[in-house]
């Protein structure tokens, strides 16, 4: 995904595009899916607490980044002053691509991330200076791109968390129906596009014939 005003000579842009751009085209424009270990590596490398929580929430909710960016404090915390998160997040239809509200239980790992964050007293959870009021997708994209580049991870994007977390659930043996409930996909067909197939699994499958 490109943004107006992008400096095509910037080393981060070069790293993220030159070596893996062909792969993303061959994969019909889909970003690489993060493995759980790579997710943890990237999470540990993100120093900015805002960017860290956005990244963590994208993984632990299997949600799109723009939905997370649009969340308000009272949709995440029962008591912002005491940093007490809700037990279930309600992701409103107005902020989701498919315009369907979904509920997402807060896991132990996500609760720890939320308790470590200092939210504003009200308004957007991730406030920004732009007209939208919340941190822009472009700002988050650029920050995450720099982190990927610093770690030598190429071919990944802001959507790698969603693809990666869904793939992890599939590899753990959960049915696609259960994963659909977790991810909020409206159809199994759209969900299956997110699931990365390990080539080694394909080889083992063929060997069974």
Question: What span, in angstroms and rounded, lies between the C-alpha atoms of 20 and 5?
Answer: 22
**Reported confidence tier of residue 194, pLDDT bands at 50, 70, 90:** low
Question: What span, in angstroms and rounded, lies between the C-alpha atoms of 138 and 123?
Answer: 20
The predicted model scores a pTM of 0.75
pLDDT tens-digit series, residues 86-128: 999 988 877 776 666 788 889 999 999 999 999 999 999 999 9
Sequence-ordered list of residues with C-beta below 8 angstroms from that of 113, at least 6 positions apart, any chain: 52, 53, 56, 57, 60
Whose CA is closest to 81, among 49, 120, 126?
120
Query: What is the pLDDT at residue 173?
Result: 74
User: Which domains does the chain possess?
Assistant: 11-165 (1.10.443.10)
């Amino acid at each position: 995904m490109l943004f107006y005003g992008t400096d095509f000579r910037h080393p981060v842009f070069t790293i993220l595009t030159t070596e893996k751009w062909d792969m993303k085209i061959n994969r019909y424009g889909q970003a690489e899916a993060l493995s759980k270990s790579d997710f943890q590596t990237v999470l540990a490398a993100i120093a900015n607490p805002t960017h860290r929580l956005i990244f963590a929430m994208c993984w632990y909710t299997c949600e799109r980044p723009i939905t997370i960016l649009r969340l308000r404090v009272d949709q995440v915390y029962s008591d912002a002053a005491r940093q007490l998160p809700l037990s279930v997040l309600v992701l409103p239809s107005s902020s989701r691509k498919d315009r369907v509200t979904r509920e997402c239980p807060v896991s132990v790992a996500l609760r720890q991330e939320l308790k470590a964050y200092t939210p504003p007293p009200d308004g957007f959870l991730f406030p920004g200076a732009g007209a939208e009021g919340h941190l822009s997708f472009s700002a988050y994209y650029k920050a995450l791109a720099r982190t990927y580049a610093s770690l030598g991870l190429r071919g990944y994007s802001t959507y790698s968390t969603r693809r990666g977390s869904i793939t992890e659930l599939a590899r753990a043996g959960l049915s696609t129906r259960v994963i659909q409930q977790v991810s909020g996909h409206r159809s199994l067909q759209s969900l299956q596009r997110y699931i990365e197939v390990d080539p080694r699994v394909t080889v083992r499958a063929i060997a069974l014939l």
